[in-house]
Structure 1
Amino acid sequence: MNIKKPYIGLKGLTLVFLCLCLGICSTTYAQDNTAQNDVESYFEEARTYRNKNQIDLALRSLEKAASLAEANKDVKKLIDSYNMFALLYLKLNKVNTTKYYWDRAKVLLNEVEYPYGDAIYKYIEAILLFRDDQNFQAIFMLNEARQLNNDRNFFNNILLTEGEIYLNLEKYESATKNFNSLIVNTDIYEKEYLSTRAYLGLASTQMKTGNYEDAAKNAENALRLAEENGFSIEIVNGNSLLAEANENIGNYQNALTATRNLQTAKDSLFGIEKLSIETKTADEIHNENMANEIKRQDERIEELSKSANRSEITAILTSAFLIIISLLAVSLYRNNQIKLKTNALLHTKNSELQAARDEAVSAMEAKTNFLSTVSHELRTPLYAVTGLTHLLLEENPNENQIEHLKALKFSGDYLLNFINDILHINKIDADKLEPLIMEFNLNRLLKEVIDSLQQSAKGNRTKLILDYDESIPSHLMSDPVKLSQIFMNLIGNALKFTKNGEVTVKAQMVHKEEDEITVYFEVKDNGIGISKEQQEKIFDGFEQGSIQINREYGGTGLGLTIVKSLLGLFDSKIKLESELGKGSAFYFELKLKCKDNIIDNVPFEIVKEDYDFKGLRILIVEDNKINQVITKKMLSKKEIEADIANNGTEAIELAKKNTYDAILMDIHMPGISGDEATIEIRKFDKITPIIALTAISLDDSLEVFYAAGCNDIVTKPFKPEVFYQKIGENIFGKQTNSSPIA
């Protein structure tokens, strides 16, 4: 698999990074030991700065080394300086400047015998060949360089560069051999740097061969060494490889973390300010060296003038004049290149930010899909737990078993609410939830919510009060289901933390303009209150103020998070005022459409009825054996006869051969899904009620079920009274006022 951008790896700059500032170990002209040590110390500084990608500081150190070598007339150290200058400028992609110093080194090499200098010269040539895609010529030149010197640091860098070339040639075994030999090395100059690069090389090789687990491990090893030693380019490369490896493995959370770390590292490494400083320093030092060259030419002119060598003076003057003109041209060209590079950098940064955003979105989608699958899979066994508990409670259990069964039922209901909360949060985060627009009565909605929570209020000996503004129109347009969820969470939360007190629900009209009103809502309690510190994060997921509160009062801590997210769908924000020991007030405003000209004659409440199910025949379509047993036994409790279809294909065949009063259709089944089976059944039977009996996941759309031909939906696991009520409504309601499904 090809490594994505911005991985800086196989070609060009990366190979240059490997060889900059190689250890200069050979013996030079006999001279003062102090001066030699000073030059070596500057080389060591340049090497350290290079590995940390501080190119401007590396150039400054190298400039000092070259000046000292020239002052001491140490030709070999000057050759080393020119070679290292060439490598540094090659890292900055200044090929012409690279060749200038490379040529200067060659001129001096013609004057002295210096095998190490010749080896580095050929090493640079190998890199230039590799940059031009001449891989085999590059390997040939590396072998020639290897024959000229046996310096350990130089040999290690040859191995590393050769491994990169093998990797590019897809010679993975050879590349792996080279990288493995450098994982543990005894290099006195670049031990950690060589190990870091070797780990990255192994990770790249394993990514190419599809060995993503080992690639991730080696990328982590490289990243650890790079962060310990400040190797900024290797930090970028390590995070890039780690993100891609984890993505291929399926560790999406780790991939997202690595992607974020990658973006941070890139912002630091490729910042405009840093690039400008490096470019400015590189040009200044090159101009200074050019000026020194002109000065040397002037000195030669003066010497030749004294010897009356006019022809040579003329040639030197011409050369100096051309150099000055070249400097002016370089200056103009440099200014233009800075502008072009800045524009290109901005364009690249925009592209990288877009790519990072896309990767983050992909990781978020993967997380959402994972949670969707988990929530769905949890619902199936939970259906067995709640269903069997209900059946056992109805079968006259022993007195000592009733308490345990009730505890089991409570735990099942608690777990179901927790799963529903997580599913709800992820639907909102995934932008898969939108508010509906339908008619409702706000006063009745609030009364229903309060009535449903009266039992909890009595348990805490707390009074529930509704303060409702009667000037609010009776017929409003919005999403009553989501508004009910908001108030259920807010009022339920207030009741949880209020004992022997009051919870007041307030609805007051702020203003009305034509068919739009603004309503102020407030849920106020005189419970335990919330500290100032906890108020800042109380709306974050799984937050309940403190561990002690969580243990004492229970709950998931998702209720207020759901409220905040749901209100966001209505372009509204939840606000909070609270004081410890005195209570809390949650309030917000909503804009709603109203219909003043409608007469309120439709009852809002759903009337529950007791149905006589005896003698009914129902088809259960379910692939899970345990669920089949539970559903069939629940029907038999009401004296309902039931057939079972193990999949969608069997359901279609049984529906053709038999007449049923209703069909309970599971949606998620192997082979033909429930909605597909419903579509097929509706081709020959448009009357029989079909109720979707399924564990709904994040990606499920209720509209799809209805469009397929389902009459109603019961979500697993369900409350038995809801289950029987839905069956009765659809069977007996169809008999009294049925209308065929089109």
Structure 2
Amino acid sequence: MVKADPKPEQIRELLTKAEHSIDMMEFDKAQKQLNQSLEYAKEIDHKRYIALTSGILARMFQVRHEYDKGITQLERAISIQREIDDQSGLAYSYVLYSKILNSKGELDRAIKYLDLAKTYYEKEDDEEQLGLISLNKAVIWLSNEDTRDRAIAELKNAEIYLQESTNNYELSRLHYFLARAYNFKGEFEKAENSALIALELAQKEDYTGMTMYSYGILSEIAEQRNNLAAALKYLQKNNEVREYVFNINKEALLTEANAREGVDALKSTLDELTMQNAEQERTLKVNKLTTILSVALITILSLLTLSLYKNNNLRARANELLQKKNSELILAKENAEKASMAKAQFLTTITHELRTPLYAVTGLTHLLLEESPTESQKEHLNSLKFSGEYLLSLINNILDLNKLEANKVEIVKSNFDLEKRMSDVLIALKNSADEKNTKIHFDFDKNIPKKLVGDPLKISQILINLLGNSIKFTEDGDIWISVKQTKQKEKTVSLLFEIKDNGEGIGKEKQKAIFENFTQGSTQINRKFGGTGLGLSIVKNLLSLLNSEIELESELGEGSKFTFELDFEAPEAEIKNTVADTPVNVKETELTNDIMIDKRILVVEDNKINQMITRKILEKNKVICDVADNGSIAIEKVKNNEFDLILMDIHMPGITGIEATIEIRKFDPEIPIIALTAVTLDDNLDEFYLNGFNDIIPKPYKTEEFFHKINKYLAARETAI
């Protein structure tokens, strides 16, 4: 009979039981359940459950105060969860990491990891988990007298979030920490009521640990109220539960030791029987052997010895060759890794070095175009602006391609409105289309659900490259972009994207090659239209990452049509009304900078040219601008002056922009700080934002994006005030 593969439901049930065993402090039982779940998860290669098992094992180590073991398990879990983009699993791991860091006294890091988890749960609108975030923050702040008011506020938040919860373990924790908070404040009646609720919930579900802790806080409260008899009674109850926990785990250890002793005894008995049998057999053979057989045996043994000698020589030579080849392979692998690292380091360095002077080129060009140049000067400045934008596009494309080839691009799923996302892309490309006297026609299927789950950034990047390609090769023509729903199965919808133009077109012999790096339709096209030939290669790689392929239909001189199909989740499984909505108008939104008038902005920048450019761009919009040459000066200026916003460079002499931001946040947690930098940012920006930045503007920037982000944070600050 063939053994059936374990099902995910079995693993999930084992993990639930393991968590319950941990809540009851039955660690031996929890260990067995986790071992079984890990075995099942590995059998079906279910990485999410492999990671989750490590996470729950880390929780057990945290409860048992084995923090280093817990961190090892969590790092393993987080690595897998990042690899498979398991955002919910990552949030769970961040919360556990925070608990361990709190236990080790690393309170600031513990709060930062809770904030990371909170960001995910806010997107998911998960009230129960947000309640647990508030509860765990309160636990951290409760231990410090200076932050107890914040702890009590967070406990009240948790109480509101968890009022509909059925998670009795966390409710028991909530009331236990409320009791501790009230006890600190001297509100002993409230403290006792909360502690009794915690005890009732813990006893109802046999949560041994919470029962023990609840008796402990009740004893403390009774002692504070001078009720020494009650304090002693509760303390005895606390010790009874503690002794019970100790005995459970002691029995488990004894059982394990006895089992090991039984195995050793059995092994010893088997060894003795084996030796006796061997002795009897040897005696029998000696009795039966004759002189002739002895000679024959000696002859055979001689032949075998000779054969073994030759085989050993051959094996030794083979091993020597294998070791040599293995050493060569290891050396080649190390050289390849060094070359890859050198390439990545080169791209990072050269990008920063190119972006810094390029910022001066684009910034000065922008300033000169706003100073009423003559027509001939304006023509030259526009050419300069185009060249700067072209060079920036080349840098960004090379970096994108490098990340894709190094498998450093991750899929980040979130809820988004596809129709609005595409309208934003069309608005962004409208000026380019107008310059080519090209009309864009947009057709969006009204049956597509309003909210989809996918990676909106990757979708935008694909559409920008494809539409930008069509605009480049279509002059005085038309471009049609359409999205149609092809099928829906439960909460998954399939959408067909089509981008069609009546531009130059592509010959049959070049259609496959244009998706390769640095390839265009022909040398003549390259001379006429320019470009790097990287856009379509990036599109192909991004679609491959999203489990899709690009298809092309084209005739030279008759235009091109690109199509691809993508699957999205529709959380609400809603189907839009087929009644036609108001058609989407691709209009350029007017950008108003009135909110910037008389606002005080500090520019932290060591490069004098960049200082001058940023300052002039801001002052043209009636901003009161101040400049700091380095991070140390910036800290002093923020301490002694009132600013509405800070633009912070990263690489500076002395302390870096990140270090300066950390120091500023110690005395001013509210002021918006935007990183205005030429550095190449990693895909994972967790640590960047954790250090206190609100947003990032990479240099060189488009002035629209520059003003949009500044206005956004100024408006938010004005509203908060």
TM-score w.r.t. the length of structure 1 is 0.52
Residue 357 (structure 1) aligns with: 333
- How far apart, in 1, do the equivalents of 2:517 and 2:351 lie? 17
Please name the residue that 1:491 is paired with.
467
Which of 606, 609, 617 is residue 623 of structure 1 equivalent to?
606
CA distance in 2, matches of 1:349, 1:589: 46
SS in 1 for 2:391: helix
Counterpart check, 1:395 vs 2:371: yes
Q: Which residue, 538, 544, 566 being the options, matches 1:568?
A: 544
Deviation at 1:701, TM superposition (A): 4.8
What residue number does 1:473 align with?
449
Indicate the structure (1 or 2) with the bigger Cα radius of gyration.
1
Q: What amino acid does structure 2 have at the position aligned with 1:692?
A: A
Q: What residue in structure 2 maps to residue 93 of structure 1? A: none
- Report the counterpart of residue 12 of structure 1 in structure 2: none
Q: For 2:636, what is the secondary structure of its paired residue?
A: helix
2:384 maps to 1:408:
yes
Residues 3-22 of structure 1 aligned to structure 2 (within 5 Å): none
SS of the residue corresponding to residue 453 of structure 1 reads: helix
- SS of the equivalent of 2:486 reads strand
Instruction: Quote the Cα distance in structure 2 between the aligned partners of 1:406 and 1:459.
Output: 13
The 1-side partners of 2:509 and 2:428 are apart by 33
Aligned to 1:733: 716
Q: What is the distance in 2 between the residues matched to 1:454 and 1:633? A: 28
Tell me the equivalent position of 1:553. 529
Counterpart AA for 1:528? E
> In the aligned structure 2, how far is the partner of 1:449 from the partner of 1:684?
40
Which residue identity lines up with residue 392 of structure 1 in the other structure?
A: L
| Paired residue type of 1:683 | K
Which residue of the partner structure matches residue 685 of structure 1?
Answer: 668
Amino acid of the structure 1 residue aligned with 2:679 = I
Q: Sort the Cα spacing of 1:452 and 1:411 in 2 relative to 1 into closer, same or farther, 3 A.
A: same
Gaps of 5+ in 1: 1-324
Aligned equivalents of 1:459, 1:619: Cα separation in 2: 37
Question: For 1:414-458, what per-residue CA distance to the aligned partner results, in whole angstroms no more than 9, with x for missing partners?
Answer: 111111111222222233321211111112222332333333334
Report the alpha carbon displacement of residue 345 of structure 1 after superposing the two structures with TM: 5.1
For the structure 1 residues 692 and 607, does the alpha-carbon distance in structure 2 shift closer, same or farther, using more than 3 Å as the test? farther
Q: Which amino acid aligns with 1:394?
A: E
Letter in 2 for 1:624: N
Match of 2:649 among 644, 666, 673: 666
User: Structure 1 500/616 Cα, relative in aligned 2: closer, same or farther at 3 Å?
Assistant: closer
1:577 & 1:341 partners in 2: Cα distance? 59
For residues 347 and 466 of structure 1, the distance between their equivalents in structure 2, rounded to whole angstroms, comes to: 63
How far apart are residue 363 of structure 1 and its match? Answer: 1.0
1:719 aligns with 2:702: yes
Does the aligned pair in 2 maintain the 1:427–1:698 contact within 8 Å? Answer: no
1:84-108: CA deviations, max 9, x gaps? xxxxxxxxxxxxxxxxxxxxxxxxx
Looking at structure 1, the residues matched to 385 and 598 of structure 2 have their Cα atoms a distance apart, in angstroms, of: 30
Write the distance in 2 (CA, Å) between the matches of 1:733 and 1:549. 47
Pairwise CA distance, 1:547: 1.5
Q: Assess, with a 3 A threshold, how the Cα gap between structure 1 residues 472 and 443 changes in structure 2: closer, same or farther.
A: same
Shift of residue 560, structure 1, vs aligned partner: 0.7
| C-alpha distance after superposition, 1:336-393 (max 9, x if no partner) | 5445655675676566545533432331121011011111111111111111111112
| Partner Cα separation in structure 1 for residue 325 and residue 362 of structure 2 | 54
- Cα distance, 1:459–1:608 mapped onto 2, change above 3 Å: closer
**CA distance in 1 between partners of 2:405 and 2:653 (Å):** 29
Residue equivalent to 1:378: 354
How far residue 543 of structure 1 moved from its aligned partner, in angstroms, is 0.7
Q: 1:487 to 1:374 in 2, by over 3 A?
A: same
Residue 78 of structure 1: aligned partner: none
CA contact (8 A) 1:442 1:476 kept: yes
- Partners of 2:333 and 2:487 lie apart in 1 by 41
Q: Tell me the CA shift for residue 642 of structure 1.
A: 1.9
For residue 529 of structure 2, what is the amino acid of its counterpart?
A: Y
8 Å Cα contact 1:426-1:698 kept in structure 2: no
Q: Is the 8 A contact 2:605 2:627 kept in 1?
A: yes
Write the deviation string for residues 437-492 of structure 1: whole angstroms up to 9, x where unpaired.
11111122223323333333344443323333222211011121221110111111
Secondary structure, counterpart of 1:524 in structure 2: strand
Query: In structure 2, how many angstroms separate the alpha carbons of the residues matched to 1:418 and 1:524?
Result: 25
Alpha-carbon distance change, 333 to 578 in structure 1, aligned in 2, over 3 angstroms: farther
Which amino acid letter does the alignment assign opposite residue 569 of structure 1? L
Q: What amino acid is aligned across from residue 555 of structure 2 in structure 1?
A: E
Match of 1:534 in 2: 510
Give the match for residue 274 of structure 1. none
1:68-467 maps to which residues of 2 (within 5 A)? 333-335=309-311, 337-338=313-314, 341-342=317-318, 349=325, 352-353=328-329, 355-467=331-443
Give the RMSD, CA atoms, in angstroms. Answer: 3.3
Q: CA deviation digits over 1:21-76, x for unaligned, max 9? A: xxxxxxxxxxxxxxxxxxxxxxxxxxxxxxxxxxxxxxxxxxxxxxxxxxxxxxxx
Quote the residue 1:148 is aligned against: none
Moved more, 352-361 or 508-517: 352-361
- For 1:635, give the aligned amino acid: L
Q: Is the 8 A contact 2:601 2:626 kept in 1?
A: yes
Matched, 1:646 2:629: yes
* 1:692–1:705 CA contact under 8 A, matched in 2: no
Preserved CA contact (<8 Å) 1:365 1:430? no
Whether contact under 8 Å (1:460, 1:498) holds in the other structure is: yes
Deviates more, 1:371-380 or 1:692-701: 692-701
1:603-614 equivalences under 5 Å are 608-614=591-597
Task: Report the AA paired with residue 694 of structure 1.
Answer: T
Deviations 1:629-679 (A, max 9, x none): 111111221222222111111111111111111111111223322122111
Cα distance change, pair 347–521 in 1 and its aligned pair in 2 (3 A) = farther
- Please name the residue that 1:517 is paired with: 493
Say how many residue pairs are matched: 416
Give me the whole-angstrom Cα distance separating, in 2, the residues matched to 1:583 and 1:347: 59
Aligned pair in 2 of structure 1 residues 498, 674: CA closer, same or farther (>3 Å)? same
Instruction: Tell me the distance in 2 between the aligned counterparts of 1:470 and 1:735.
Output: 38
Structure 2, unpaired ranges of 5+: 1-300, 577-583
SS at match of 1:424: helix
Q: Distance in 1 between matches of 2:589 and 2:314?
A: 73
Identity across aligned pairs (percent)? 53
Within 2, Cα distance between the matches of 1:525 and 1:339?
67
Residues 572, 347 of structure 1: CA spacing in aligned structure 2 closer, same or farther, 3 A cutoff?
farther
| Cα distance, 1:707–1:608 mapped onto 2, change above 3 Å | farther
1:305-352 Cα shifts (integer Å, max 9, x gaps): xxxxxxxxxxxxxxxxxxxx9999766644454456556756765665
CA distance in 1, matches of 2:348, 2:700: 16
Match of 1:147 in 2: none
User: Which digits, 9 at most, give the CA deviation of each residue in 1:564-606, with x for residues without a partner?
Assistant: 2222321222232333333332222222111226899xx9998
Instruction: Note the C-alpha offset of 1:616.
Output: 1.9
Residue 551 of structure 1 deviates from its aligned partner by 0.4
Question: Where does residue 693 of structure 2 map in the other structure?
Answer: 710
Query: After superposition, what is the alpha-carbon deviation per residue over 1:147-196, rounded to whole angstroms, capped at 9, x for unaligned?
Result: xxxxxxxxxxxxxxxxxxxxxxxxxxxxxxxxxxxxxxxxxxxxxxxxxx
CA–CA separation in structure 1 for the residues paired with 2:451 and 2:326:
49
Q: Is the 8 A contact 1:372 1:699 kept in 2?
A: no
Q: Are the equivalent residues in 1 in contact too, given 2:409–2:683 (CA < 8 A)?
A: no
Distance 1:367 1:644, change over 3 A: same
The two structures have a TM-score, normalised by structure 2, of: 0.53
Any idea what the Cα deviations from partners look like across 1:514-551, whole Å, max 9, x if unmatched? Answer: 22222222222333332333223211221112221100
Contact 2:436–2:476, Cα closer than 8 Å, also in 1: yes
Contact 1:469 1:507 in 2 (8 A): yes
CA distance in 1, matches of 2:409, 2:369: 37
Distance (whole Å) between structure 1 residues aligned to residue 614 and residue 559 of structure 2: 45
Q: Separation in 2 of the partners of 1:563 and 1:365?
A: 25
